[in-house]
Amino acid sequence: MSKSLELEDVTATAPCCAPLGGPPLAEDEAVELARVFKALSDPVRLRLLNLIASSAGGEACVCDLTTPFDLSGPTISHHLKVLRQAGLITGERRGTWVYYRPVPTAITRLSTLFTLPPTP
Amino acid sequence: MSKSLELEDVTATAPCCAPLGGPPLAEDEAVELARVFKALSDPVRLRLLNLIASSAGGEACVCDLTTPFDLSGPTISHHLKVLRQAGLITGERRGTWVYYRPVPTAITRLSTLFTLPPTP
DNA sequence: CATCTAATTTGACATCTATCTATCCAGAAA
DNA sequence: TTTCTGGATAGATAGATGTCAAATTAGATG
């Protein structure tokens, strides 16, 4: 098994990047993409990713990610794990604290997904 | 109430478009966005949206959306409803058949969401 | 070593979701 | 009107998900 904080990155196996208006999605691609969107389908996780992605220094300490929410520590930890397993963020432990940062390639590729051809 | 096929569009109420790396998402925006991503968090719905968005003529008949899947009619109907309620597609009945088309503004705004500032 | 703190994991529980079958509705065509 | 067909709705069920309290792990510090 992977060690605690290492990312079991789902996106690593499937490239996928063609826009939704493009060629038909293969079943595998659809399954993998769906997992990423499932990670984004919760308000708390969206705000967490937003907090992390907008943090000065490009990373955020978990200790700063817990206070903005009216939720228990384990729940925040759970949501961070989901985002991690979707390949959207990575976590690193430095001393006592754990820092999370976004994975730019994983986020940027979603941008191209929603690019539509100009209506002629 | 709205009549059968009219879209109870969720996105109509919330604009929201700033990139994830931008200012903090308000709780309401996060909730609304999460609903859109929940609609995208299923492989079947992703492939449906892909089929619809890539259809010649800009629309697809439900009759053509059922056959590619090994699922019952009602299940496909359910998934189309979820996409409709998320504001991602609209449906229109013409005679015997129902045609679905993508909602470009709803899709395009997601593209900007995932735009990250260049790392300096 | 013992202790303290930050964070994750475990286990439980209520709620939500994808799917099916059966039924219903809306037009078209007898 | 009656009948047929495409599609949506209703109701049921197995499985997934968000949440918390309690237990656990990883470093730091005494």
Contacts of B37 in chain A (CB under 8 A): 37-38, 40-41, 46
- B5 confidence band (pLDDT: 50, 70, 90): very low
Q: Which residues of chain B (26-65) touch nucleic strand D at CB < 7 A?
A: 61-63
Give the nucleotide with minimal C1' distance to the Cα of A5.
Answer: C8
pLDDT tens digits for B45-54?
999 999 999 9
Establish if A52 belongs to a structural domain. Answer: yes
Residue B18, pLDDT score: 87
The residue-averaged pLDDT of B3-26 equals 64
Establish if A118 belongs to a structural domain. Answer: no
Secondary structure letter of residue A99 according to DSSP? E
Between B7 and B73, residue with greater pLDDT: B73
The residue-averaged pLDDT of B33-39 equals 97
- A17 confidence band (pLDDT: 50, 70, 90): confident
Establish if B12 belongs to a structural domain. Answer: no
Establish if B16 belongs to a structural domain. Answer: no
- B106 confidence band (pLDDT: 50, 70, 90): very high
Q: Residue B59, exposed/middle/buried by CB under 10 A (0-12, 13-18, 19+)? A: middle
The residue-averaged pLDDT of B88-93 equals 96
Containing domain of residue A36, as a range?
Answer: 27-113
- Cβ-nearest to B21 among A31, A38, A54: A54
Strand ranges in A1-82 using DSSP code E only, listed in sequence order: 60-61
Nearest CA in chain B to A111: B111
Number of domains present in the structure of chain A: 1
Establish if A49 belongs to a structural domain. Answer: yes
Residue B6, pLDDT score: 43
Establish if A5 belongs to a structural domain. Answer: no
**Inter-chain contact B42–A33, Cβ cutoff 8 Å?**
no
CATH of residue B89's domain is 1.10.10.10
Give the nucleotide with minimal C1' distance to the Cα of B38.
Answer: C17
- Measured between its terminal Cα atoms, the distance across chain B in Å is 51
Establish if A64 belongs to a structural domain. Answer: yes
Establish if A9 belongs to a structural domain. Answer: no
- Mean pLDDT computed over every residue of chain A: 88
The residue-averaged pLDDT of B73-102 equals 97
